[in-house]
Amino acid sequence: MDWTDKVVLVTGGTGSFGKKFIKTLLAEKHPRKIIIFSRDELKQHEMRVSGYDDPTLRYFIGDVRDRERLVRAMHGVNIVVHAAALKQVPACEYNPMEAVKTNIIGTSNVLEAALDCGVSKVLALSTDKAVSPANLYGGTKLVAEKLVIQSNNYAAGSSTRYSCVRYGNVVGSRGSVVPLFIKMRAGGKITITDERMTRFWLSLEQGVHFVMDCIEQMEGGEVFVPKIPSTKVIDLARAIAPDAQIDIIGIRPGEKLHEDLLSEDEARNAVERESMYIIRPPETLWNRNLHYAGDPLPEGFSYTSDNNSEWLNVEGIKKYIAPFEADFLNGKLEG
């Protein structure tokens, strides 16, 4: 796929993923134009003055809740990466309708605006918390996923295609536990909720390249799931603060011991490739005779953070968090 003639719009473009994605896209793919769509003028200003001032960039203030503004922003756009979301679990629990308005209605607005504007590809970012959700954030992302995939029905007679990527915790992203643990280390004590807890992990760079790869190969209707390592949260704490006291404070409402990236039911309709799983659309009502290359998964298969075949030990975790240690020392760490 040739990106050099493409116009790309990124919702939530000032977030951790958006900034890394845009930086990588400029360095490796050289698209004709990138539109940064977000609602915070200060974050856009800070992003611009921090070095994101390439002549191909356009800063577009808007909210995914505003469908008319999305239509205006998507004029002439070829590819949309939908990364905007309310993602803090406690904030979503306390402000449930705000989570619904942004994560569900906002996603619906993105999908409809893309169809109206003739966008070729829309790739939405999802999360392991959307599988068997235990909190409102996960519930809204589950609904958002369903909206994305089934919107291919409406787009059957057009060139617009919709797909999702679903992955786990991004090391060091805004709201990640990594910056929190690094800051707690200074007090000599780290709190975790349960010593049995496991999570999927990937770096921001891995997430960005995975999204770029999926955009290039998507046909519409897939949910792409990367193969990524798991880690025990207690090992993460030990890697960041080996000398700190670790206090177990008990699991919180809406929190899981382990996360799922691919449920047993979904696995029946998924294929495996070398670096990913692909969940095929359950019904190809848009009748495009799609063929998804890959190997079928065995009966009873699921992909969860505690049954993973790939694990990061303490030394492996240290390699992942090394960049954030440097940012902490330089005062650049995001909380």
Q: Tell me which residues are annotated as active site.
A: 129
Please enumerate in sequence order all residues whose Cβ is within 8 A of that of 283, keeping only pairs 6 or more positions apart, or say none: none
Q: Which residue has the tokens 């063929």?
A: 291
Distance CA 90, CA 254 (A): 9
Distance CA 128, CA 105 (A): 20
Nearest alpha-carbon partner for 146 in 108, 99, 92, 112: 108
Torsion (CA) 235, 241, 244, 248 in degrees, nearest 10: -40
Residue 99 · residue 137 · CB < 8 Å = yes
Tokens for 122, please give them: 């829309």
Distance CA 261, CA 252 (A): 21
Handedness of CA 104, 106, 112, 118 (dihedral sign): negative
Q: How many CB atoms lie within 10 A of CB 325?
A: 15
In DSSP terms, 43 is beta-bridged to none
